[in-house]
Amino acid sequence: MLKATFAAGCFWSVELVFQREPGVQSTKVGYTGGIKENPTYKEVCTGKTEHAEAVEVEYDPKVVSYERLLEIFWHKHDPTTVNRQGGDIGTQYRSAIFYHNERQRELAEKTKAEQQAQLGKTVVTQIVPAQIFYVAEEYHQKYLEKGGQCSAKGCKDAIRCYG
């Protein structure tokens, strides 16, 4: 199994879209890219910890490629907005790819350039080395699935995010 880590706004819906992908073995929501050890959700929401809400994906590369995971990431959010996705505003909602090896970095850079050309706007997604990933509180894990949304592999139901 390999790991991939993505930040694309509120981690609840990002987690659900990856849960649905065949080849994804597990997902965890949490915080990464910041300066405080073991931050809480409340602390991350202040913006002072500098963490992003992120999803750590464990996947089987024999079933799903990193390129496919990047495709899901790019289509899940608006990579042209700084520290914002929809009504969620703050540094914790930034767009970022946390790469775990050089190949992931290369593919992230390549697809970012493709997105920028396709969108005709500046893509603000950060591409940075993976850092310590702090798993979020249990109540955040599989939040939308627990709320009754479909997490089955291949499910195409619309994802509804709510607080």
Give catalytic residues, as residue numbers: 10
CA atoms within 13 A on the CB side of 37: 0
Q: Which ranges constitute the DSSP H helices of the chain? A: 11-19, 41-45, 66-76, 102-119, 143-146
List the structure tokens of 53: 């809400």
For residue 59, which of 114, 136, 125, 4 has the smallest C-alpha distance? 4
3 state DSSP class of 41:
helix
Distance CA 121, CA 68 (A): 22
Distance CA 158, CA 138 (A): 24
